Amino acid sequence: MYEEQQQVEATILYIHPSTKAISLSMLTHVTSRTVPQIGRLTVGCIIEEAKVWRIDQGQRVYVRLGDNLVGLAHAKSLSDQEVKDVSKEFKRGTTHRCRVVDLDLMDNVAIVTMKQSILKQQFLAYKDIVPGAVIQCQVRAIHSTGVSVKVTSHIKGFIPSMHLFDAALKHPEKKFKEGQKLKCRVLRVDPSKYKLLVTNKKSLVTSSLPILTSYDQAQPGMVTEGFIASVRDNGVLVVFYNDIKGWVPRSELSATHMEYPDKMFYVGQVVRCRVLSCQPEEERLKLSFQIAGMKRFGSKAVDVPEGFEVGKLVDCRVVKKSDKGLDVAVLPSEKQAFLPKMHLSDHLSNCDLLLASYQEGDIISEVMYLSSKTVLIVSKKLSLIQASKSDSLAKDFTSIKPGLLYPGVLKNRMSYGVFVNLTHDLIGLAPNKFISDHRVTDPPNLYTPGQSLVAKVTEVDEDKRRFLLSLRMSDCYHDNTDIGIGLLENYLEERAMIMQSIDKQKGSKLAVLHCGQVARVCITDVNDHGVLCQTNEGVKGFVTHEHMIGVRCQQGKVCDAVILEVDIQANCVAFSLNHDLLKAIKHRKDNKFSQVKIGQVLKSEVHLIREEFVLVSLKGHAAGRMAYVPAKKHLNDCFEKRQFSVGQINHVVIKKVENVLLASLQIHEDKAQDQNKASVVKEHNLKPGMKVTAVVRAVHEFQLNLAVGPLEAPGRVYISEVADEHKEGISPLASYKSGMEVTVKVIGFRDGKTHKYLPISHPNFTKTIPECTLKKSKLAIKGFCEGEEISRTYKVGDSIQAFVHSYSNHCLWMQVDPVVRGVVYILNMSEDQQVLNNPSHHFKPGGSYTVTVLDASDPHKLELSMLGDKTPITPGAIVRGLVLAVHPSSGLVVQLSDRYRGRVSLTDLADKFVDNPVDRYRENKMIKACVLACDEKDKCVLSLRKSRLHQGSICKIKDPELLSMDEVKTGQVLRGFVNNCSDKGVFLSLGRDITGRIQYSHLSHYYIKEPKKVFFIGKVVTAKVISVDYSSKQMELSCLEKDTGATENVPKSLVSNKRVAKDSGRTMKKKKVINDKEIKVDKQKKAKKHKLEKSVKRSSRTLDKGLVEELDSGVDVSKDSGSDTETIKSVKKSTPVSRLQVSSGFVWNNTFTLPKKTSQAQDSDSDDSEDEQQPAPKKSKREKLEDRKQEEKMLYQTEQELLQHQREPQSVDDFDRLVLQSSDSSLVWLKYMAFHLATTEIEKARAVAERALKSISFREEQEKLNVWVACMNLENMYGTPETLKAVFDRAVQQNEALKVFQQLIDVYVKSEKIEQAEQLYSTMVRRFSLKKDVWISFARFYFKNNQAESARKLLQRSLKSLDKRDHVEVISKIAQMEFKFGEPERGKTMFENILSSYPKRTDLWSVYIDMMVKLDDKEAVRQLFERVTHQTLSAKRMKFFFKKYMDFEKKYGDEASVDIVRQKAIDYVEIRTGAAET
């Protein structure tokens, strides 16, 4: 094979270090550096037939493994017994069964064994074991952390403690013994580290569910088993085989909410879960415990003690303590319960310390059952315990009523608000706007989950079983300073208990230290934050810069310091080096003169500010004493502490002197006293259903004020509760007088402060105002029954009793009960015309009437009728109506009953036409009309013709009705009304929707100088039908004498030359010049002037030949030939066109008519007036020449006006020219719309508006807004509610929303649509709730419409929505409205309340004084001046008020009063000057 001197390729393996011999290899896979063939085998594989190839020195056996693979078996690997003669037992060529135990890649040989013991083994190495496999193992040893096992002699494993058994084992040594065989399942194997973890949990070992060993295997919907590795608040971590982890979110733990997952699950628990989603590349696996057909976690009923009831107080014993709370046993039943850490106290800062202070076996007294939904939960919160004792906890959803206050716990925070748990798992939402009175950037973060709160119910949705809450201080706190003192006292008591417990457990050095104590300290460090120090006992402390002002500190210095706070959590003390404080404490005397008593008012200085308290030192006779002031007035208070600063001087009132001094700010105490005085209600023991004797104290328009019962509690009987039967129009209170004794029955209560009605289920009525009844039907019933409440729900069709409140805006406002109002529109008041003409005279306040409910969509505002149920509006019915608008060109707009609206055209006003027929009607006049058609509520067609109103009688009809165009025939002579006069002719209304045109050539035989003066709007004209186009519904008319037979009635002063049949060409050119849109002239001014003068002269000679009728404008254009002709300037296209300049603004009113010219006096009968006119006399030559000159003059003036934009547009072409020149001017567009509306062309007006919106530049926001307002006016008058809403919605999107809302409200108010305006205002205050001007405008609207009570309720709503800084202005504005439109006494009260809180607001004083001056109460004004001039104000402001005072006395007083004011001003100046000098 090889020869000497043969060159071969070999690879150096190594060089022997001593002999220097080189070992080489000529194997192909070594020299070529490739993987040898033996690499195809794997360790552990079994070769069934291995053929002996060679025996080396009787010790090693080489075998063929097939495919040229070689195996080597050492002598010790040939058999489990000793082989004496290898060559004899393993002869060459024999086959044997062997197993690969290793691979020698260098020699390309597999190391094999033929031992039967190894051939039978399941696993040969760690890598042979796969996760999830079931294996047999043997216990090797028992450890504290688990049990070690062996799988084979060289494969070892470990069972962790949690995997020893399905349940936790406290003593595993009793369960397992060394050598014990176990059947386990592989959890995880790491061959590189020779680690093997197995589980002995029977539920996992015997599980038949799919085994999850990789993320790729997880498919959505797959159900498998794993074990819990971690339990957290937001979910559970589940581990599978091969360390595959999955997450179960909290929402997937159970079908019901699970508040404390750690009480339902434990680490090591075997759970069955369902795969929701998997992301293998990110190794994310989402699981769920909710599996169809399986019992859900938490569905099992909780084992509760006998007599369990939420709110019940019990004692318990601590069983176990964890980071989340205490596991307790309820005594004496020993039932297990959980006391969460957050429920250990109302003060979250104490919860961690209290948890640390409790030890196993401690007895906790008076804990409250809170919930038993998934786990039995108890609470130690004092706010809940006190509410339980007073029976004021929320019990069920039916007990949740608006206005009630309930204690609760913050459950969750969201971006839109916070959720509060009111016990019994009643959870309500407090939206962001109801969280705080202050404007904050992130309202939900004001509070912390688990924090104790008090919530006020604001709204309840019974259908969805939801309710809204308010946490605002203005809703939940009513100036009761005892609440803050109680919270502070509870906080300090808990701190003292914690200190005692820590001292008992550890013997802390802090226990001997207390606030106000003087200690000797050594300064250990001085830094930027202050000073670090240490007491002689080794207690560490610190001093901040604000407590060492004026003191020089150096490291190592020893000095005295005052203890301000002992911080148990940080194990240190807060000191003060304040020299004055040290001196006061050291010199403090404890005698009867230095004693502090409850109620004393003392000065104090702030030294320390914390979340729960403010530490102050007292001044005066109590100098040297420390006191605590609440940093929270209420559980919901977050801002009280912000008003304090270290070193601040305040007056405080001592509230408690035991153990520690507790005090309250004097300003809070004064405010509480004022509030109590203002709303003092005598305590009583009245309950619903009680019958008592009462004395009438006062008789008002709508109620009797009473002194109820032996305690004379203030109460009342509302007018609706006086009697069962009433006389129409008579007040039931008329027979009662002050001092009368009556027997009443209590049927309800009102809150003494808010005056809101309380539900009958309210737990406490002792300090409320009773509502009583005098009705015999209710007095006869014993006790209180359902249906006796002060107010009830009303339905459409109900016949009820209502009482007149006031009359305004054609509406009679009535009071149904204390909380429900009603409105009777004028058409539903009476059928007597005299009553309707003067309703305020017939309906007196307090009068009782039986009415029928027509509309109850708003439960607090009903629509009522005194005429019974609704009467449908049908064609042919004779109805009453109220004239809303009078349009000279179109007729009347009439309001009918049931909110129907109709239109009366000019031709339907009478059977005989007269000039200006609408003059006899005025707005708000009552009329009778016949319904001709009624498709929709706002599209009724009416007629006032006597022939229609009295169809049974014979009426003389001079001008019959034209119902359609088909009735009109050519040659027919008719009479009609002029509804428009334009350059196209005179338009005549012949019927409701029938209009004809009279061209100027058919108007008169003469030229008419001013047609609008002759044919004014509303004039009756006789005309003959010349032609009719039935398809386009157009007709041409003529009123020439030859056609109608009627004499032309045109004043001589307004006519010129008589018309002839022909016209000259030059005059036609002249006419073309007038009507042409673009006038072209020569550039040379002189030539232009000469040409114009020459044309005028030629025209004057040819005018007498007449004009062509088709081009005739009907306008006299004569001009003086001798007058000079002005120069006409050229209009070039390249020259920019300036905007149209208008001398006066455009007013968009409800009539939409062009200005009407003054006409001469008209006779009542047009026929008579026509008969009296004489034919026009023939003119002389001189008169004809003068007429020609006048025509030329008018023609020239018209040309000049067209060129200089001074002529009012009279046609569509004129308007098109104007809008091209001034496309951004809304005024031009509005006039264009009015032009079309004058001819009742509504669709064309809409089209013009759309053109305007597209043409006006987007930068011209105000111009666009003007057009939008015009569109809304248009749709309000001529459109439908749907079209108006569509226009409004578009306007809101394209303009500033608030402006559009306000403009539409103005439109509604001007058209007297009060209800629509009110509805829109309601939308505004919801959408713009933070805009004070919106609330003020809404209130003004209510006051102006005699709805003062609604305005007052609106004030309360506004204060809940607006920022606190806006409250004063809003209250001030509404107080002014009370003076102007409401009750001045109420306005005075409002101003007094504001000034009591803001006495230095001079603007409020000034407004208040002005209002009182208008009341003409001189003495009251003088008292106000006296009060304001005794205020401590600046000299400038005092000068203002003295001057105002002086002006008042000069106007209303005498010389003596003026001298008195002057002397007071002098005295003030002298006093101020003297004070400045001293």
Please give the torsion angle defined by the CA atoms of residues 829, 830, 834 and 837, in that order, rounded to the nearest 10 degrees: 30
Cis, peptide link before residue 160, omega less than 30° from 0: no
Mean pLDDT of 1238-1246: 83
Mean pLDDT of 1428-1442: 84
Q: Enter the tokens of residue 770.
A: 């009773």
Of 508-512, 568-572, 1145-1149, 1183-1187, least confident by mean pLDDT is: 1145-1149
pLDDT in tens, 795-833: 888 899 999 988 887 789 899 988 888 998 888 888 787
Q: What is the pLDDT of residue 1115?
A: 36
Mean pLDDT of 1203-1218: 68
DSSP 1194-1237: HHHHHHHHHHHT-SPP-SHHHHHHHHHH-TT-HHHHHHHHHHHH
pLDDT in tens, 434-474: 998 887 888 888 899 999 999 999 888 888 889 999 999 88
The answer to whether 1026 and 1070 are in contact (CB under 8 A) is no
Residue 627's pLDDT band (cuts 50, 70, 90): very high
- Per-residue pLDDT at 1056 exceeds 70: no
Beta strand pairing call for 109-113 and 69-74: parallel
3-state SS class at 1367: helix
pLDDT: which is higher, 61 or 36: 61
Residue 489's pLDDT band (cuts 50, 70, 90): very high
Residue 1474's pLDDT band (cuts 50, 70, 90): low
pLDDT in tens, 1390-1400: 888 888 888 88
- Per-residue pLDDT at 661 exceeds 70: yes
Mean pLDDT of 644-656: 91
pTM: 0.48
Q: What is the pLDDT of residue 339?
A: 93
φ, ψ of residue 1406 in degrees (nearest 5):
-65, -45
Q: What is the pLDDT of residue 381?
A: 93
- Per-residue pLDDT at 1114 exceeds 80: no
- Per-residue pLDDT at 1167 exceeds 50: no
Q: What is the pLDDT of residue 1098?
A: 40
| Nearest partner of 235 among 227, 247, 220, judged by Cα | 247
Of 320-329, 753-762, 1234-1243, which has the strongest mean pLDDT?
A: 320-329
- Per-residue pLDDT at 615 exceeds 70: yes
Q: What is the pLDDT of residue 1345?
A: 85
Q: What is the pLDDT of residue 1062?
A: 40
Q: What is the pLDDT of residue 1064?
A: 37
Q: What percent of the chain has pLDDT over 70?
A: 86
pLDDT: which is higher, 1086 or 1055: 1055
pLDDT: which is higher, 1006 or 533: 533
pLDDT: which is higher, 688 or 696: 696
Residue 1259's pLDDT band (cuts 50, 70, 90): confident
Beta strand pairing call for 811-817 and 799-808: antiparallel
- Per-residue pLDDT at 1124 exceeds 80: no
- Per-residue pLDDT at 301 exceeds 70: no
Q: What is the pLDDT of residue 271?
A: 92
- Per-residue pLDDT at 345 exceeds 90: yes
Q: Give 1376-1380's long-range contacts (Cβ < 8 A, gap of 24+).
A: 1376/1407, 1376/1411, 1377/1339, 1377/1340, 1377/1343, 1377/1351, 1378/1343, 1378/1348, 1379/1411, 1379/1414, 1379/1415, 1380/1343
- Please give the span between the terminal C-alpha atoms of the chain, in angstroms, as a whole number: 133
Q: What is the pLDDT of residue 1126?
A: 35
- Per-residue pLDDT at 185 exceeds 90: yes
Which residues fall within 8 angstroms of residue 720, CB to CB, at 6 or more apart? 801, 803, 815, 816, 817, 818
φ, ψ of residue 47 in degrees (nearest 5):
-100, 115
The answer to whether 113 and 99 are in contact (CB under 8 A) is yes
Which residues fall within 8 angstroms of residue 486, CB to CB, at 6 or more apart? none
Q: What is the pLDDT of residue 549?
A: 79
pLDDT: which is higher, 1477 or 1407: 1407
- d(C-alpha 96, C-alpha 226), whole Å: 45
Q: What single letter denotes the amino acid at residue 1131? A: V
- Per-residue pLDDT at 1458 exceeds 90: no
DSSP 1059-1095: P-S---HHHHHHHHHHH-SS----S-HHHHHHHHHHH
Tokens 């009342």, residue located: 716
3-state SS class at 151: coil
Q: What is the pLDDT of residue 695?
A: 92
pLDDT in tens, 1294-1333: 888 888 888 898 988 888 888 888 888 888 888 888 888 9
DSSP 1094-1155: HHHHHHHHHGGG---GGG------B--TTSPPPPPPP--SSSPPPPPP-SS-----SS--PP
Q: What percent of the chain has pLDDT over 90?
A: 23
3-state SS class at 945: coil
Of 890-904, 1091-1105, 1128-1142, which has the strongest mean pLDDT?
A: 890-904
Q: What is the pLDDT of residue 628?
A: 95
Residue 1207's pLDDT band (cuts 50, 70, 90): low
pLDDT: which is higher, 748 or 752: 748
CA 505 to chain centre: 53
The answer to whether 825 and 810 are in contact (CB under 8 A) is yes
Residue 1149's pLDDT band (cuts 50, 70, 90): very low
- d(C-alpha 860, C-alpha 793), whole Å: 9
Residues in the chain, overall count: 1478
- Per-residue pLDDT at 1127 exceeds 50: no
pLDDT in tens, 701-735: 889 999 988 888 888 899 989 998 888 889 999 88
Mean pLDDT of 153-173: 87
Q: What single letter denotes the amino acid at residue 688? A: P
Mean pLDDT estimate for the chain: 82
Which residues fall within 8 angstroms of residue 1032, CB to CB, at 6 or more apart? none
Q: What is the pLDDT of residue 265?
A: 87
Q: H-helix or E-strand containing 327?
A: strand 325-330
